[in-house]
Chain A
Amino acid sequence: MGAFWDLVKMKVKVFLGTFKASRANLALFVFFILYFTAASIGLSMVLADTVRKGSNPILYIDQFSAFINLFFVLVLMGILKGFTVFEYEYNMVLTSPVTPRHYLVANVMADLITYSVFFCPFFTALGAIAVSLGLSVLLTLLTFALSLIFLFFLILLKISFSILNSVYGGLTIKLAIVILMVLLLLPALAIFGYFPLRYRDLPYPSTLLAQSIISLIYNELPPTESFIGITLCFLVSLALFFVTTRRNVFPFAKPTPLMTPFDTSMRAQTLKMSTNIRYFSRSVFRLGVSLNLSSKSLTQFLMKKEFVRMVRDGSLFTSLLMFVIFSASSLDTRTEQGSMPAWIFILTFYSLIIQSILISQWRIGESETLWIPLTSHLGLEHTAKALLYSLVLISFVVPAATICFLTLAGLITPLLLFAFLVFAASLSLIGCSVNLFAAIHFLGKKSKAVPSYMIMLVSLLLLGLLVSPAFGYLILCLILNIDFVVNFVSAAFILIYSCAVFYLLSKKIREKFLNIEL
């Protein structure tokens, strides 16, 4: 057992090592705890209020179950990779006398220790619900115990199926996992009214958990069959774990780079990027885009290179897909008045999240190749300019085209079309420059040890501040129905303001590039 605990300790230390690698991690962690704890308390208050108002609990089973299944599907996606171990373990641990079962249990232990702190907001929410609804200690503990049992069920299932996938791997198992994922998510369509079967009609593990927890929140004991069902699921996964770990699975292990939320090395992301390039550069996704010498100016050539990169590494496809998903999710708001807030949301998301995805992909893929332009006599100035222009272009054209389409379909009035185009232009100009500024600020040798999440966070905070005038303008247009002259003057002001921010940040980006050390 000594070796077992040493292994657990080592894994925890390695995790903490990535945390200690950057001071930014502490800030990130404090922000995570504060933000999500506050959000959890807010959410729990809403939940408690809903319960007090006496709404029908059955209505929530489908939604809660869908949410749990989304999590379940993410776990299943991990199984498709097979039995993976971190590179340092591959050489150090897998060649030692530690048995597979000991190694896997140590893995679970270490993960529970290191990640338990991330579940603080969940515990807070649970406590807040229990207090506000006056739940008994027994019911609270029962809710907590059921959640924990379900968590263990997922963990053990993931380990067992990963082993099965690696040992007996092949198309059949992969196909079975994909079918399972589809089956798990399919009843979610019933929430939108497209599917005849609902989660509450199916004996899914998620339904059992949702039924139990909702019963407990409504101050009732969970249905016996749900309780027995969850316990059975756990026991089956435990048995499966014991059967699969009897085999020596080490020869089937696939080494992967260390990955923690605080990782600053970008190795794992870089490898993922290579997989994306391999996939997206196939003829279907290549879209006939290639880089040749026909461009008239250097900026044009470099913009084309950026476009080629976005197509081949899949970042363009991913961002467009997300845009489509957000658009589809608002299909239920079909009336003109109803669709407006949804579209503000979509455009905001497009600019704030999708832009940052595009730039973080650039950072992952290109930060190691910046030595090429940096050792040329033109430096990075042209590269920065071309990158910024191409990002602004893409992040403006896509929402603008969507808005124009909506106008043609008669869903937006021409006056609102104008307001939305101004809003999209402003978000695109400010969003791209802020995101790129943050990415480059943390790119150099001196400030390299900052995780991607932190960069995204800094960008979002800065963006929230800088885009507020554009938000204000759009809200005014939507609520006050202002006349054309006032609208035009306000729009001109917003555009001038956005261009000024864009200009200032572009200048800062150039300055940062001049002093960069790689």
Chain B
Amino acid sequence: MSWSETRLGYESDLMLQLFDVWKAYDGFQALRGLNLEVKRGEIFGLVGPNGAGKTTALKIIVGLLKMDKGSIRVNGVNIEDEPYGYKKFIGYVPEVISLPEYLTVEEFLFYSGKIREVPNEEIRERVNFYLHAFELEDKKKTMILLLSRGMRQKAAISSALIHDPELLILDEPLIGIDPAGQHRLKELFVERIKNGKSVFISTHMLDTAERMCNRVAIIHRGRNVATGDLKSLQNISKTGENSTLEEVFLKLTEEAEKEIYEAPTEEPPKKKRGFLRTFGRT
């Protein structure tokens, strides 16, 4: 049994937990104490206006950025304790997809499988499966350079699924994908959550979130404004039981904006300063 299997807590209901996560860059406070919980077996949506901190949060979860303060657990594993090992559980598709354009679709999926230490037989099997599922079979020998935006998106999603991760993290997953492809993707997500896996989607397209997600978190200016299914969000916002996610979203973000305007400015946490900080303490 590997280290991860002994301590990841498969029995845990929570696939992802964010506690008081802060992040600032280029003089901009992107996240201000973000808290989130994604359960096992759900499609969770992260929605918010432009600049709310959605992409920053996702990048921190997948290890492309480091947080200034807070803690994150993925499948029970603290990501700061195991900065690489926890990535076995995740598959990630960024918003702006840059893929190795000089590889063919098949070669790219081989590469994705290899760097995730998937055995060769399983790689072949899964590559065939996803090429079929996303109708990329006739493009498998085509170089990524020659693919359309939607096809690149499908190749990237296949790559994120090649090691069958527990948590699939997608930033704006449906941009560029045709309606039939969107439908197949949703079916795939539903299939995954039936098997106890989770899907975490970040989007600013509210109808997508309403259509696809079991629960949604609305974030604004780096803070979680509200989390829940549509019904509970309707109750929180008091917009009525027939209101759409868009109406709920507008009401809640407006209130949050008002609160921020009225409340005094919060100080961001001081960054760790390594040697000097340690020296100062002693």
Contacts and interface: CB of A to CB of B under 8 A. Distances in A.
Contacts of B65: 445, 517-518
B112 A372 contact: yes
A308 B104 CA distance: 11
Given A277-B102, A369-B100, A375 B92 contact: yes
B110 A377 contact: no
Contacts of A200: none
Contact of B102 (A293, A365, A376, A377): A365
A372 B65 CA distance: 14
Contact of B116 (A278, A365, A377, A517): A377
Interface string B24-35: 010000000000
Interface in A454-488: none
Interface residues of A, number: 36
A366 B100 contact: yes
Given A371-B94, A375-B64, A378-B115, A274 B110 contact: no
Interface in B65-120: 65-66, 84-88, 90, 92, 94, 98-104, 107, 110-112, 114-117, 120
Q: Which of A305, A368, A383 has the most CB of B within 10 A?
A: A305
A273 B63 CA distance: 28
Nearest to B112: A372
Contacts of A313: 102
B159 A517 contact: no
Nearest to A311: B102
A290 interface: yes
B16 interface: no
Nearest to B61: A375
Interface string B243-276: 0000000000000000000000000000000000
Interface string B149-179: 0000000000100000000000000000000
A290 B280 CA distance: 55
B14 interface: no
Contacts of B64: 371, 374-375, 517-518
Q: Which of B111, B115, B116 has the most CB of A within 10 A?
A: B115
A309 B115 contact: no
A305 B84 contact: no
Contacts of B124: 293
B159 A372 contact: yes
Interface string B188-200: 0000000000000
B143 interface: yes
Contacts of A517: 64-66
A291 interface: yes
A265 to B, nearest CB: 14
B47 interface: no
A298 B115 contact: yes
Contacts of A305: 100, 103, 111
Main secondary structure of the interface of B (DSSP, over half): mixed
A343 interface: no
A277 B145 contact: yes
A219 interface: no
A291 B145 contact: no
Nearest to A366: B100
Contacts of A382: 115
A312 B102 contact: yes
B4 to A, nearest CB: 9
B46 interface: no
Given A371-B64, A375-B62, A293 B103 contact: no
B123 interface: yes
A292 interface: yes
Contacts of A376: 87, 115-116
Contact of B107 (A274, A291, A445): A291
Interface string A476-518: 0000000000000000000000000000000000000001011
Contacts of B88: 377
B101 A274 contact: yes
Contact of A293 (B63, B87, B92, B114): B114
A100 interface: no
A338 interface: no
B87 A290 contact: no
A292 B110 contact: yes
Given A290-B104, A308-B102, A517-B65, 19 more contacts: A277-B102, A290-B107, A291-B107, A292-B110, A293-B110, A301-B111, A313-B102, A371-B64, A372-B100, A375-B63, A375-B90, A376-B87, A376-B116, A377-B86, A377-B117, A378-B115, A382-B115, A445-B25, A515-B66
Interface of A: 273-274, 277-278, 281, 290-293, 298, 301-302, 305, 308-309, 312-313, 365-366, 368-369, 371-379, 382-383, 445, 515, 517-518
14 contacts: A277-B101, A277-B102, A278-B145, A281-B102, A293-B114, A308-B103, A312-B102, A369-B100, A372-B111, A377-B86, A377-B117, A378-B84, A382-B115, A518-B65
* In the A-B complex, the 8 residue pairs with the closest CB atoms: A368-B98, A312-B102, A377-B87, A291-B107, A377-B88, A375-B92, A293-B120, A376-B115
